[in-house]
Amino acid sequence: TKTTYYHPSFTSLHYFTVLTTLSFTYKYINSPFLTFFLLSDSSLFIPHPVDNTEGRAAPLFVTLYQPSLLKRQPSTMAAGVVLTGTTDTGRVEAPVTVKAYLLCAFAAFGGVFFGYDTGWMSGVLAMPYFIKLYTHKEYPHVLFPGDTTSAEFTAYNSAFKLPAWQQSLTTSILSAGTFFGAIIAGDLADFIGRRVTIIIGCIVFAVGCILETASTTIAVMSVGRIIAGFGVGFISAIIILYMSEIAPRKVRGALVSGYQFCITIGILLADCVVYATQNRLDSGSYRIPIAVQFLWALILGVGLFFLPESPRFFVKKGKLDKAAQALASVRGQPIDSDYIQDELAEIVANHEYELQVIPQTSYWGGWTNCFSGSITNGSSNLRRTLLGIGLQAMQQLTGINFIFYFGTVFFTQLGTISNPFFIQLITALVNVLSTPISFYIVERLGRRTILIYGAASMIIMQFIVGAVGDTAGREEKHNHSAVSAQIAFICLFISSFAMTWGPSAWVVIGEIFPIPIRSRGVGLSTASNWFWNCIISVITPYLVGTDKGDANLKSNIFFMWGGLCCVSLAFAFFLVPETKGLTLEQVDRMMEETSPRTSAAWVPHSTFAADMNLAEKHIEIPLVGGGSRPVTGTGADVVAVETVDAEKSV
């Protein structure tokens, strides 16, 4: 087909001036600003902006031919790139760049939501003003001025707390909302994209935060908590999905561990704010810690407008041109780089392979795909889904959130601690300082290894805390040394969790699912985390409560957590594979070819691009301007393109 160059008249030059000005707006929005005007022969003329090396948008003219000419062109097109892939398993991903670190670091900021919302509740539940507001009881020092030793004061002071049902409701209702939010988020992420889903989560969370801050009754607080929970569910599920899909394989574990680090930062920030407002005798005591959350929603929501979408989302949607553009952006490479083409080819080939194994059906069929296959088959969708769900359940059943939800209340019950808020702050600081160690060991030792050894160390710490509390640390003895020992081993338990199960459980669920079910699989796994989080929030106040009918386990509750850590140890040993150093596509193959206990020895031996004969399928991505930007061409129809420099044309 002969390409005709357009020679602009005076009127057309006027249009060109206007359209060129408009095209510069492209650098401020996500998709090209396309303005069409009719030319002769019903063809269309588009000023299509392309980012150049100086960061400015230079307009290029792209001629699209009549619909009858929109057919696949021969592979000799100068402006197009045919995806052929590579047989070298070491070249299926572009080199690591600083940009990849920065993108994941900002995305990990979503963990602050999780952590802060986990942290502030523990302190607020023990605040005198909050207790008075919700129970209508008078302060102990008002009823007993100057008396802190009488039996009457001691009895009243012990009873000056929220009843177990209020502690249970206000804590667990957030997890209930988050459970459903995480499941819904999986569908939204496949429909509108990972990035937009997280932004919506920020908006929903902000609405809930406003209601929580304004609340003066248990009903309003509960409504605010459940709405905020929906937002946290969106964010906690899709942040992991997004980070796993854009992070380079060699540092994916470390970068996704950054999410857990941000959770610990959030908990520490919450404890700091609560510590600063604990003695206020007005609504600011609890409203200030709650209102601070709004800032996290604003920062993450606005920042995500400037981050690229996941390239694997575009591959799933069949938009290979946008996938190439997004991949080039997250890898910091030119779009026509061999690395970008090879990595994109591997992603496309793996997706085609998975579509053969997991055929796409109806909406509900897509959900049933998550549970297809045999439970005895280590690579089946059912086995992967149960692995993700079980891993997140085991993380919660370690008992870590007993400390961060009810730690202040528990430390108060020990009887010898003058400032339980300060002890809670110390536990949060231990959590923060220990988590960065996981950045190194998750890549050096591997996910499976640190999960196994982490569970073993937590078992030891939990049983020691329980044993000390049940002997020398019994309340009636008021043994200061025993309580100090308990606090020390609780800190060691937190440190073990922060280095191992805290980050690694999130890392693994982002790696084990194939593209067709990845968003729903991660959503279900995250929902499992929040489900068990909710269960723990509901039952724990009754397990350690001192009201009539409560179990009042005191330190014995750590025997329960230690026993559950034994289950976590067995789960990790028998079911969790080693995914260190593999691309998401290689993890998929590894799970098909080996068992969890032999997975550490598995090495990639071929690429999906070679196995699927991708080169013979002639999948072509037309590029504009010698590789600066692709033009959409999906399926069997690829647009014929001719690029003309705007300045030379004029």
346 within a domain of the structure (yes/no)? no
Bridge partners of 63, per DSSP, are: 45
**Token reading at 155:** 């009895």
258 within a domain of the structure (yes/no)? yes
pLDDT (0 to 100) of residue 448: 97
Secondary structure (3-state) at 619: strand
pLDDT (0 to 100) of residue 172: 85
138 within a domain of the structure (yes/no)? yes
pLDDT (0 to 100) of residue 3: 36
Examine the domain organization and report whether 543 and 503 are in the same domain.
yes
pLDDT tens string 330-380: 988 888 888 888 889 989 998 888 888 877 778 888 889 999 989 888 889
Residues with Cβ within 8 Å of 582's Cβ and at least 6 positions away in sequence, in order, are 249, 511, 590, 604
C-beta separation of 623 from 78 below 8 A: no
The single-letter DSSP state of residue 6 is P
> Position 631: which residue type?
V
Torsion sign across C-alpha atoms 115, 116, 121, 127: positive
> Position 139: which residue type?
Y
Examine the domain organization and report whether 203 and 65 are in the same domain.
no
Examine the domain organization and report whether 194 and 237 are in the same domain.
yes
pLDDT (0 to 100) of residue 580: 93
Bridge partners of 644, per DSSP, are: 61
Distance of CA 421 to the CA centre of its chain: 29
Question: Nearest-CA neighbor of 384 among 223, 570, 252, 515?
Answer: 515
615 within a domain of the structure (yes/no)? no
Examine the domain organization and report whether 156 and 271 are in the same domain.
no
Residues with Cβ within 8 Å of 353's Cβ and at least 6 positions away in sequence, in order, are 608, 611, 612
Question: Nearest-CA neighbor of 121 among 162, 170, 181, 160?
Answer: 170
No. of helices (H) and no. of strands (E), the chain: 28, 7
Examine the domain organization and report whether 67 and 216 are in the same domain.
no
C-beta separation of 115 from 270 below 8 A: yes
**Token reading at 18:** 């206007």
Q: The CATH number of the domain where 178 resides is what?
A: 1.20.1250.20
Examine the domain organization and report whether 119 and 56 are in the same domain.
no
> Position 633: which residue type?
G
Question: Nearest-CA neighbor of 295 among 502, 112, 431, 72?
Answer: 112
278 within a domain of the structure (yes/no)? yes
Helical H segments across 435-479, by residue range: 437-444, 447-470
pLDDT tens string 255-267: 899 988 998 899 8
Examine the domain organization and report whether 414 and 525 are in the same domain.
yes
30 within a domain of the structure (yes/no)? yes
Domain count, the chain: 3
| Bridge pairing between strands 643-645 and 629-630 | unpaired
453: buried, middle or exposed (CB in 10 Å: 19+, 13-18, 0-12)? middle
C-beta separation of 256 from 240 below 8 A: yes
pLDDT (0 to 100) of residue 6: 37
Examine the domain organization and report whether 415 and 447 are in the same domain.
yes
Domain hosting 566: range is 98-126+161-316+353-369+390-600
**Token reading at 313:** 């989302």
DSSP string for residues in 390-425: HHHHHHHTTSHHHHHHHHHHHHHHTS--S-HHHHHH
Angle between helices 557-575 and 381-396 in degrees, nearest 10: 150
Which residue in the block uniquely carries the two structure tokens 């499976």? 448
335 within a domain of the structure (yes/no)? no
**Token reading at 400:** 């870590």
93: buried, middle or exposed (CB in 10 Å: 19+, 13-18, 0-12)? buried
C-alpha span between 167 and 218 (Å, rounded): 10
Tell me the backbone φ, ψ of residue 142, rounded to 5 degrees. -80, -45
**Token reading at 225:** 């908590």
Examine the domain organization and report whether 542 and 462 are in the same domain.
yes
Examine the domain organization and report whether 143 and 32 are in the same domain.
no
| pLDDT under 70: residue ranges of the chain | 1-80, 472-478, 622-650
Torsion sign across C-alpha atoms 418, 421, 425, 428: positive
pLDDT tens string 549-581: 788 888 899 999 999 999 999 999 999 999 999
Read off the pTM: 0.76
Examine the domain organization and report whether 118 and 243 are in the same domain.
yes
C-beta separation of 450 from 573 below 8 A: no
Which residue in the block uniquely carries the two structure tokens 């020990």? 414
Residues with Cβ within 8 Å of 588's Cβ and at least 6 positions away in sequence, in order, are 350, 354, 379, 514
The single-letter DSSP state of residue 137 is P
Examine the domain organization and report whether 227 and 269 are in the same domain.
yes
Strand order across the beta sheet in which 80-83 lies: 80-83, 619-624, 629-630
C-alpha span between 31 and 36 (Å, rounded): 15
40 within a domain of the structure (yes/no)? yes
Which residue in the block uniquely carries the two structure tokens 């030119």? 334
C-beta separation of 312 from 515 below 8 A: yes
